[in-house]
Every structure is written in C-alpha cells, then in structure tokens.
Amino acid sequence: MNKIKDITPEDVEKIQTVNKGMSFTKNFRSATFVFIPGFKDPITEGAAGKAIAHYNLYGNKDMFINTTVIMDDQALFKEENFQLLYSICDELVNRLVGYANTLLSVHVGSNSYNAEYKR
C-alpha cells in the first residue's frame, strides 16, 4: 500500500501550521514529550507523543543517533494523516538531532515506518 499522495494546498497549510505550533521538551536519556496543535494523548490530554534520541557508536568514527517516535493520539493512526505525521517526524529529527546520521523508528499504528538520515 502506497501512503504517499499528492499534497493539496490545504495539506501544505495544515502541515505548516502544525510544524510552526509544535513544541517539545528536549530531554536526552529520557522521553522528549511532543506537543502538536490539534492532537493530544487521549488519557492525560497532554503531549500527543514522545521521542527518544540516543547515541549508538560504531568504533571510533561512525556514529548514529537512534531516534524513536511514539504517538499516542489515535487520529494520527489514520491513513489520511500519514503526510502530516511524516512531516512532523521529519521536523522532529531536524530539531532534535539536526539531521546527524540518524536511524528513525516511528510507531503510530498502521502509519509506522523506519527511515535513515545520512549526511
């Protein structure tokens, strides 16, 4: 199943609005809570998700940052929100680790995916 689709001008506007309003706590070695406008944890009504970034060293010159994103708002599990979710996670990687060599694992129900960012 191909989840990538053409992005409408409305989708672009929604993505820009969400990325602009997204905030998070920046914690290393513990969860970074992600606050996304229009989305929230269904139980606590707080952060819509969490991200965990940790270093993985290979020898003395290769380093990867493993980043795991877990979203709790069931609305982000819907296929029609995949483009939005993808842009949220892309922005999180940019803000948290600055696109260093990163292995990304996103856990959001049927919208889960893995990605690799290499400089």
Residue 1 lies in a domain: no
For residue 20, being part of any structural domain is answered with yes
Q: For the segment 60-93, what is each residue's pLDDT rounded down to a tens digit?
A: 566 778 899 999 999 999 998 999 999 999 999 9
- Would 3 be classed as within a structural domain? no
- Smallest CA-to-CA distance from 28 within 67, 59, 60 is with 67
Contact by Cβ (8 Å): 53, 69? no
Tell which residue, 97, 89, 79, has the closest CA to residue 114. Answer: 89
91 close to 19: Cβ distance less than 8 angstroms = yes
First-to-last C-alpha distance (Å) of the chain = 29
* pLDDT-derived band at 12, boundaries 50, 70, 90: confident
Q: Enumerate the β-bridge partners of residue 83.
A: none
Q: What SS3 state is found at 95? A: helix
Asked if residue 100 is part of any domain, the answer here is yes
Give residue 1's pLDDT.
45
Query: How far is residue 70's CA from residue 34's CA, in Å, rounded to a whole number?
Result: 9
Considering the entire predicted model, what is its pTM? 0.84
Residues of the domain holding 88: 9-117
16-69 tens-digit pLDDT: 999 999 998 876 667 889 999 999 999 999 999 999 988 766 655 667 788 999
Domains of the chain: total: 1
Q: Kindly state whether residue 2 falls inside one of the protein's structural domains.
A: no
